[in-house]
Amino acid sequence: MPKILITDESLSFENEISFELALKIIAAIKVGNEDEKEEGVSNSSLTQIPQNPEMGFSQYTSPSLSPQEELLSYPEAKFNPDKVLILGNYFQKVNSQDNFSPSDIKDLFIKAGEKDPTKNLARDFKHTVKLGYISQLGNSNKYYVTRTGLSVLSSNFANRPKGGFSVGTNKTKKKKQILTAGLESLEVMSELEGFPRFHHLAKRSDKILWLLIYAEAKGNIKSLTATDIEYLSDKLKDSISTSNFTSGNISNIKSTYVKQKGNGYSILQKGIDYLKNQLKSMNEKGGVAERPNALE
């Protein structure tokens, strides 16, 4: 654990502090020494002059910190490219070098108690370069921390590039929906003669009935699957997903408003009459104009 010691003619203060706080204090001292640097005063323990103009001045790292402690001093570092950046900066400063190799970083990962990165090390370096944290020295196997990387370090990854990414996360591709023939060419509107407007229905079960009736009346499509219902509801800016379709449709089945055949569901006359009566009920309560029935 680092210690801070402040002495003056009239005071003396000594206390243990966290690694993160120690780094912040050192960073503040660096800012305070800017005037001295402009006058030519060297402070080699805090800065390192880059040989490449794209290189940044290495973020201060105490040689007394272990690789594990260095990683812990950046609590917002969550992905392997973040760790490559931290350990790359650590290696440059502790070893007074302006570059490092993948092998150097691999050793530091292991010393820090991290999982051996050998299997995905090339991928992690590629991602770290893509983020602009590090850059390759020509065609060599050497890399250096860039000014962008140092800026991200100094903010404790608060100003990481927007979007970011999660290394090792396999994004499941959404499977293409297989819809009933004729459904994709069907023009979907929220009104159907003789029935309530789709968005005036409160129950999910009633909306499923409405979509079954609409598909038959407007497209002569006599059976819909749960995927079809999800597709149509999306068109109407609603959400009847395949995951909540069954719970919404179970009352329709129990009331014999619909019948099931395989994965498809068809509207029955009892269901048509039920939904038509919903419009009559709305007329009585709210004065909605009744229209002729579209399906008999």
Cα 25 to Cα 36: distance, rounded to the nearest angstrom:
18
Q: What is the mean pLDDT of the chain?
A: 80
Domain 45-154 matching CATH 1.10.3720.10: the answer reads no
Tens digits of per-residue pLDDT, 84-118?
999 999 999 999 999 999 999 999 999 988 888 88
Q: Where in the chain are the domains? A: 45-154, 198-286
Both tokens assigned to 92? 């440059």
Cα 179 to Cα 224: distance, rounded to the nearest angstrom:
9
Cα 136 to Cα 125: distance, rounded to the nearest angstrom:
10
Does pLDDT of 146 surpass 50?
Answer: yes
Tens digits of per-residue pLDDT, 203-226?
999 999 999 999 999 999 999 999
Q: Tell me the whole-structure pTM to 2 decimals.
A: 0.42
Q: Write the CB contacts of 178 (distance below 8 Å, at least 6 apart in sequence).
A: 227
Cα 41 to Cα 67: distance, rounded to the nearest angstrom:
30
CATH topology of domain 198-286: Arc Repressor Mutant, subunit A (1.10.10)
